[in-house]
Amino acid sequence: MSMRTGTGTRGMAAVIAAVAVLVTALFTAPAAQAQAGRAYVAMGDSFPANPAIPEQLDGFFRGYCSQRDDAYPDLVGRDYFGGDYVNLACNGNSLSGGAGPSLVSKMNAAHARGEIGPATRLVTITAGAAEGWNPATPRGRDFGIIDGADHVTPQRWVERMGPVIGRINQLAPNARIMFVSYPEIGDGNGNLCLATFSGGSAHLPVPVPLNVERFIDTVNSTAAAHQHLGYEYVDTDRPGTGTCAPVGNQWVRSVFDIPGAGDGLRMPFHPTALGERAVADIVMSRL
């Protein structure tokens, strides 16, 4: 009697132990997988977020980060990584956090959600244009309109980008890191086009001399010169694709493009659908 009871007790204990192991596996495996991170993590400012104007306004009033689903990170994430990605880009994000939410704070929040980790194979960054470089302006931002390009120095770049790369290496030690440059904004001669009229063989750009192009070029060239920080520089600046190009060739839209590109109410001086596709293809050609 006591032997049967002991055998039954041991058998029941074995069953309970097996069930416990199964339940533990069921509940911990997804958590462990989540902590491993997405295969691809994108970070940056409004360029890799690139919401349409209605989406941007909705996000502003409802308190969330709006993004367009055909921004280059989304195209790379779907086409190359089969949807295993997260886009952390948002309008106003900055490298250091002085002018807007920092990339490090975005990464820390993503890590808490299990979105970046040892399984992450690629991290892309497009940032620096929304950084507060100019101490004479509110929050340091002037987007190059005043003299922001003069304040993008090698020392300040290292001070601001260095901690970003360091944190990526801590959270995603197996990831390649790419700085994806800003595309051409103007006409290559220091002008932006506020309006472009194209029709048939006619093409009438309206160029305006602004320092924005020099500012963007300075951010790009400074990033290119500091790959020793631990990232690869991906050049997406192609002549003849900025705001002054014919509408059908624009990678970046102006304020008034007539006729429009037919890709929605996008923000001025931000990528068109054609530009997003082109940048995504350039990134994927490096993988």
For the question of residue 270 being annotated catalytic, the response is: yes
* Residue 22: Cβ within 10 Å count: 10
Q: What DSSP string runs through 181-202?
A: PPPP-S-SSSEEEEEEEEETTE
How high is the pLDDT of residue 286?
98
How high is the pLDDT of residue 75?
98
Question: If DSSP codes are grouped into helix, strand and coil, which group holds residue 75?
Answer: helix
Residue closest to 267 by CA, chosen among 249, 252, 245, 247: 252
How high is the pLDDT of residue 168?
99
How high is the pLDDT of residue 156?
95
How high is the pLDDT of residue 120?
99
For the question of residue 46 being annotated catalytic, the response is: yes
How high is the pLDDT of residue 265?
75
How high is the pLDDT of residue 261?
57
Identify the active-site residue in 2, 46, 203, 285: 46
How high is the pLDDT of residue 201?
55
> What DSSP element (H or E) covers 125?
strand 122-126
> Going residue by residue through the chain (287 aa), what tens digit of pLDDT does each one get?
444 445 554 554 444 444 444 444 444 444 444 469 999 999 999 999 998 877 777 777 777 788 888 999 999 999 999 999 999 999 999 998 888 899 999 999 999 999 999 999 999 999 999 999 988 887 888 888 877 689 999 999 999 999 999 999 999 999 999 999 999 999 998 888 888 776 655 567 777 878 899 999 999 999 999 999 999 999 999 999 999 998 889 999 888 765 555 666 778 889 999 999 999 999 999 99
What CA–CA distance (Å, rounded) separates 89 from 71? 10
Identify the active-site residue in 111, 151, 226, 270: 270
How high is the pLDDT of residue 2?
46
How high is the pLDDT of residue 263?
66
Q: Does domain 37-184+211-238+271-285 have CATH number 3.40.50.1110?
A: yes
Cβ atoms of 238 and 187 within 8 Å: the answer is no
Q: What mean pLDDT is reported for the chain?
A: 85
Residue closest to 94 by CA, chosen among 170, 160, 184, 151: 160
What CA–CA distance (Å, rounded) separates 232 from 76? 17
How high is the pLDDT of residue 32?
46
